[in-house]
Amino acid sequence: MKRIWIPVVLVLAACADPQADTISTSPAQSIYWSDGDSGRIDGMKFRLADVDAPETGGVGARGGAKCEAEREIGFDAKAFMVDLTRDADLVITSNSGPDRYERDVITLSANGVDVGQAGIDAGHLGPWPHKGRRALTKKPDWCAGLEDR
């Protein structure tokens, strides 16, 4: 019976994602924000884990905002993230591997502050928890109640 388990364990170990849940201890050198929850850090495409930012793409475009008010607050969210991370000591505190768009799903700290949580606390991001690639809740509806803005 023991002989059966050894090959099974070896196969499972070989299939494990070595990048998932890794932690970077070296500070990042550069960051570019595409929007309030994704961009590039040291050239690596990323998306912040378990948060959502309002979309900044054109209203009605694939992956774009659902209303003009969402676009406006999306640009505010991006500006908040740029300001939060400008000249900060940035550290990737976890990396869960790639999402369906091949962006690494990460948590990030700026001067020791969790960037995603700071965005939520400031009202620029919404919580959008995931388990692996599966969303546990619906994506925030950024247009609800914003039409009169």
CA-based nearest residue to 126, from 110, 142, 112: 142
Confidence band of 140 (pLDDT split at 50, 70, 90): very high
Nearest to 48 by CA among 58, 57, 39, 59: 39
Q: What pTM was computed for the model?
A: 0.79
Once rounded to an integer, what is the mean pLDDT over residues 88-115?
96
Q: What is the domain partition of the chain in residue ranges?
A: 20-135
Q: Which CATH class is domain 20-135?
A: mainly beta
Q: List, for residues 4-36, the tens digit of each pLDDT value.
A: 544 444 444 444 444 445 555 567 789 999 999
